[in-house]
Structure 1
Amino acid sequence: MDRLMSMRVFQRVIDEGGFAAAARALDMSPAVVTRLVADLEEHLGARLVHRTTRRLSLSDAGETYLSRVRAILQDIDEAHDIASAHTQDLSGMLHIMTQPVLATHVLAPLLASFAQRYPKIVLDIKVESFKEPPIEDYDITLFPADSSFDGDVIARKILSTQIIL
C-alpha cells in the first residue's frame, strides 16, 4: 500500500465531502478511492470514517489522524517545493565541447528543453573535430565511446546511438 497516496486520498475524501466527489477530483474511480481508504483503515486498525447512505463523518481516530495527515502532507509539499526551487535557481556558465556529428544529432535536440528548464544557465558550446577529447577548460565534453584520453577524467556512458553517414 502506498501510504502517502492513501493519506492524500483520505484527506481529499473529507475535503470533498464524499468518496464520489473525491474520485472525480482525483480522476480516479470511486471503487479505487473507497478501496484506498478501506486499506488505510485496515492498516491502521481503526475506522477513520463513519459511512451512511446520506453522509460521511469522521470518527475520533479519523479526526486525530486527519489533523496529522494535513500537517504531514503540507510539510511534504513544502519540502518538494523547496527542492524544486533549488533546481530552478541553477545559474552560471556551462562550458561544453563536442564534435560536429554529436552536436547535430545529440546535443541540439536537447538544448531548447534545457534552456527552458534552466533559464539562468548560459551555455558556451564549442563544436570542433578532435581525436582526443580535451580535458581542460570544459565542464562537459561529449565524445564517441571509441575515443581515448589521458588524464584525470570521469567518463560515463550517457546514451547509445547509431549515426549513419
Structure 2
Amino acid sequence: MDRLHSMKVFAKVVEQGSFVRAAEIMSLSNAVVTRYIVDLENHLGTRLLNRSTRRLSLTESGQAFLERVRHILPEIEEAEAIVAMATKKPGGTLSLYSHVGFGQGQLGKLLADYSAAYPDVVLDVSISERAMDLVEEGMDIGFFSSLQKFDASMVVRKVGVAEVVLCASPSYLEKHGAPQTPDELSRHACLNFSHEHLRHYWHVRTEEGVRDIPITSQVVSNSALLLRDFALAGMGITMRPSFSLGDDLRCGKLRRVLADFDMGQVSVMMAYPSRRLLSAKVRSFVDFISERFPHPETDPWV
C-alpha cells in the first residue's frame, strides 16, 4: 500500500464529501479510491469513515487522523517542491573537498568565478591532505590528486595533468644563479615538502633513467602555501606540481629551472558520488569545471 497516496485520497474524499467526486478530481476510478480507503483502514485497524449510499461521516478515529493528515500533507508537498526546485535552479549549500596543493593554489579564483555565476549557491570548502570519503562525510564534490587513494566507485573526471616543476624567485636566481644540470641542485638551498623520501633526494628522469639527486633542504614543511611563500621570498628552489603555484609562473613571480628535465607528473581528478539524479548545484559545478578544463590530458597551469 502506498500510505502517502492513501492519505491524500482519504483527505480528498473528506474534502469532497464523496468517493465519486474525489475519484473524478484525482483521475481515479471509484473502485481504486474505495480500495485506497479500505487498505488504509485495514492498516490502521480502525474505521475512518461511516458511509451510506447518500452520505459520508467521519468516525472519531477518522476525525483525529484527518487533523494529523492536514498538517502532514502540506509539509510533504512543500518538501517535494523544495527538492524539485533544487533539481532545476542551482541553490543551497555545495560542499567541496580538495587536497591542499590544488585547493590553495587554484580554488580561490575558480570558486570566485563560480560564485559570481551562481550567487544562490553557498560554498562550504574543506581542504586537507587527508583524502576524504565523500559519502561518509557528506561532501558533494572532491578534488583528488593521483597521489591519493579514494573510493573507486566515485564518478571521476580528470581535470588536468600537472607537471612537477622546479622553480625559484628572480631574486634568488640573480643572487645564486640557476642550476644548469640536476647535479648542481646539491649546491642550492631547497624548499621541500615534508615527505621523508624527498627530504634528502629529488628524483629526476634523464636519458639514463631516474636519478636521485642529493639536496640540502633549507626549509621543510607540510604546507604547500608556505613553500610557495618561501620561494617567492627568495629563500631557495622548490619542487611543486604546477597547480600548487597559482599564477606565479605565468606572471614571472617564480621562474622554472631545469625545465628540460622530467620531474614527474601529478593528475588532478574531480569526483562525486553518483551521476544519477544530480542536483542543480552539483550539475552546474561539474559543467563549470568541465568548461574551464576542456583538455584534461594537458597541463593548464604552466
User: For this structure pair, what is the TM-score category when the shorter chain's length is used for normalisation?
Assistant: 0.5 to 0.7
The code of the aligned residue for 1:56 comes to L
In the TM superposition, what is the alpha-carbon distance from 1:49 to its structure 2 partner?
A: 0.3
Q: How does 1:104-143 map to 2 (within 5 A)?
A: 135-136=159-160
Which structure has more relative contact order (CA 8 Å, sep 6+)? It is 2
Corresponding residue for residue 151 of structure 1: 267
Q: Which stretches in structure 1 are left out of the alignment for 5+ residues?
A: 92-119, 122-132, 137-149, 159-165
Structure 2 Cα separation of the partners of residues 9 and 151 of structure 1 = 55
Corresponding residue for residue 12 of structure 1: 12
The code of the aligned residue for 2:83 comes to A
Bigger-Rg structure (1/2)? 2
Q: Please give the secondary structure, in 2, of the residue aligned with 1:22.
A: helix
2:47·2:59 contact (CA, 8 Å) conserved in 1? yes
Tell me which protein shows more helix as a share of its residues: 1
The code of the aligned residue for 1:29 comes to S
Structure 2 Cα separation of the partners of residues 29 and 134 of structure 1 = 53
In the TM superposition, what is the alpha-carbon distance from 1:24 to its structure 2 partner?
A: 0.3
Corresponding residue for residue 83 of structure 1: 83
Instruction: Tell me which moved more, 78-87 or 25-34.
Output: 78-87
Q: TM-score, normalised by structure 2?
A: 0.32
Tell me which protein shows more strand as a share of its residues: 2
In the TM superposition, what is the alpha-carbon distance from 1:86 to its structure 2 partner?
A: 3.3
Corresponding residue for residue 50 of structure 1: 50
Corresponding residue for residue 31 of structure 1: 31
Listed one character per residue, the Cα deviations across residues 38-79 of structure 1 (whole Å, up to 9, x for unaligned) are: 010011001000001110000000000001011010110111
Corresponding residue for residue 63 of structure 2: 63
| Alignment length (residue pairs) | 106
Q: Determine what percentage of the aligned residue pairs are the same residue.
A: 44
Corresponding residue for residue 105 of structure 1: none
Q: Please give the secondary structure, in 2, of the residue aligned with 1:28.
A: coil
C-alpha change, 1:134 and 1:2, in structure 2 (3 Å) is closer
Q: Please give the secondary structure, in 2, of the residue aligned with 1:90.
A: coil
Structure 2 Cα separation of the partners of residues 81 and 38 of structure 1 = 29
The code of the aligned residue for 1:80 comes to E
C-alpha change, 1:134 and 1:68, in structure 2 (3 Å) is closer
In the TM superposition, what is the alpha-carbon distance from 1:22 to its structure 2 partner?
A: 0.5
2:159·2:270 contact (CA, 8 Å) conserved in 1? no
The code of the aligned residue for 2:269 comes to V
Q: Please give the secondary structure, in 1, of the residue aligned with 2:61.
A: helix
The code of the aligned residue for 2:40 comes to L
The code of the aligned residue for 1:64 comes to A
Q: CA RMSD in A?
A: 2.6
Listed one character per residue, the Cα deviations across residues 95-152 of structure 1 (whole Å, up to 9, x for unaligned) are: xxxxxxxxxxxxxxxxxxxxxxxxx87xxxxxxxxxxx9724xxxxxxxxxxxxx823
2:158·2:270 contact (CA, 8 Å) conserved in 1? no
Instruction: Tell me which moved more, 33-42 or 81-90.
Output: 81-90
Q: TM-score, normalised by structure 1?
A: 0.57
